[in-house]
Structure formats: C-alpha cells, structure tokens
Amino acid sequence: MSAMVKRYLAELIGTAVLVLIGCGSAAIGGYGAGAAAPVGYLPIALAFGLAVTAMAYAIGPVSGCHINPAVTVALVAAGRMPANQAIGYILAQVVGGIVGTLILVIILSGKIAASTNGLAANGWGPGYNGEFGMGSAILVEIIGTFIFTAVILGITQFTGAAVPAGGLVIGLTLAVIHVVFIPVTGVSVNPARSFGPAIFTGGTALAQVWLFIVMPLVGAAIAGWLFRAKVLTAD
C-alpha cells in the first residue's frame, strides 16, 4: 500500500471515529437535550475533544490527523501542504464523516422507535438549541474554526519539534470551543462532521449545511494566512 493511500485511509478512519463518538454522545448518550443542558453539554464537548486527541496519537504519525477539511485548508493557506494532496485528504474526510454517521444510524436502528432525527446535526434558528440567528451562527463558526486551526498551526509550526502533549492540547481546545458555542450551532468547525449527519437527517439540517461547510473554511483560511504572513509565527 502506497504512503498516500495510507494517509487517505487514516483520514477516513479518523474522521469516521470523530463523528461516531462525538455525534454519538448526543444521539446515543442523549447528552445536551432538555433538562440536561447546559451541564449536559460537557460530555458532548469532551467526546469531540477526546476523540480528536485519541486519533491524533492513533493516526497522527501516518497522516498528521487532520480529520477535518478546515484543518487541511488551514495548512494549505499557511503554505505547509500542496493543494493537490489536500484534495485527496478532503475527499477522504468527507467519506469518513458519512461512514461514521452511517455506523451511528445502524446502531440507532437497534433502538425501538429510533429515527434519524437525533444525529446531532448542526443548525441554528427557531427550535434549535438556544435559537440563535444566522448571523450568530456565521460568527461562531468562523471564530471557533479560527481558534481551533490557529492552535493546531501554532503547535506544529516548529519542524521536527517534539510536542508529546500536542494532541491533548488540540483536543481540549476543541472541547472548550464546544462548551461555549454548542447552544448556538451545536458546533461544527468541521465540514465533514456536519455533512454526514445532514445528509442522513435531511430537512432543515441539509438546507442549512452550507453554512457549516463555508464558514469553517473561511475561519481556517484566515488562520492559515496569518501564519503564512508570519503574523502568528515565532520568527
């Protein structure tokens, strides 16, 4: 198996695990709903954050563990990854998000009266979490992704640097972003994480998924550009 195929497969698996564990914490565990909020948001935040941490150590040596098109775009914008390689990464991540959601759907199908209405799809507006408007959703997804990708770019800016705790720091950053912003959009900051649940849920989730594809990429591109321009680098 070639090195690139291994990288793409690692990205697919890593993204599938992230979606299964993160979205599963809400869809299977039932955290974050009704009376469980806001305390119930913490398990969801930790599920997403620690899933990223686990995958960072599991597949990081193979692919770098992007498991997020926004992270890949940030690296391209920062000049650390060729665009032609990024295309394969993003395709693998999108497929991984679909696979992770499919596994979740299959698990939920074993529950009496189960449906695909609880796949932790992202959204905004009336009836969704804190019922924030589209403007708030746009701002949250751009800022949240900027913070997340800036931390990743900052940790990895030193070539060959040994950062054993890097995966943990990145995972905890994602968890903190979830703790703050779940009431607004459910937190995407990852187009692949949003696309899978949206296509299985349909309806409003699918109609709104464009925001969770576009805005995280905008936030990531901004972070990448600032590193390319050496605004946020050590030198």
pLDDT in tens, 15-71: 999 999 999 999 988 777 654 566 778 999 999 999 999 999 999 999 999 999 999
Inform me whether the pLDDT recorded for 160 exceeds 90.
no
Q: Which domain, by its residues, includes 87?
A: 3-228
Do the Cβ atoms of 224 and 78 come closer than 8 Å? Answer: yes
- Residues 172-188, mean pLDDT to the nearest whole number: 96
Query: Considering the domain boundaries, does residue 222 fall inside one?
Result: yes
Question: What average pLDDT does the structure give for the chain?
Answer: 91
Give the three-state DSSP class for 82.
coil
Whether 77 maps to a domain, the answer reads yes
Report if residue 160 sits inside a domain.
Answer: yes
- Determine contact, residues 137/58, Cβ cutoff 8 Å: no
Out of 34-48, 77-91, 97-111, 211-225, pick the least confident. 34-48
**Interval 56-87: pLDDT, tens:** 999 999 999 999 999 999 999 999 999 999 99
User: Considering its fold, how many domains does the chain have in total?
Assistant: 1
Report the pLDDT value the prediction gives residue 227, as an integer from 0 to 100.
95
Predicted TM-score (pTM) above 0.85:
yes
Mean pLDDT calculated for residue range 129-158: 95
% pLDDT > 70, the chain? 92
Please give the span between the terminal C-alpha atoms of the chain, in angstroms, as a whole number. Answer: 38
Phi, psi torsion values for 174, nearest 5 degrees: -65, -40
The answer to the question of residue 235 being in a domain is: no
CATH for 151: 1.20.1080.10
Within-domain flag for 23: yes
70 within domain boundaries? yes
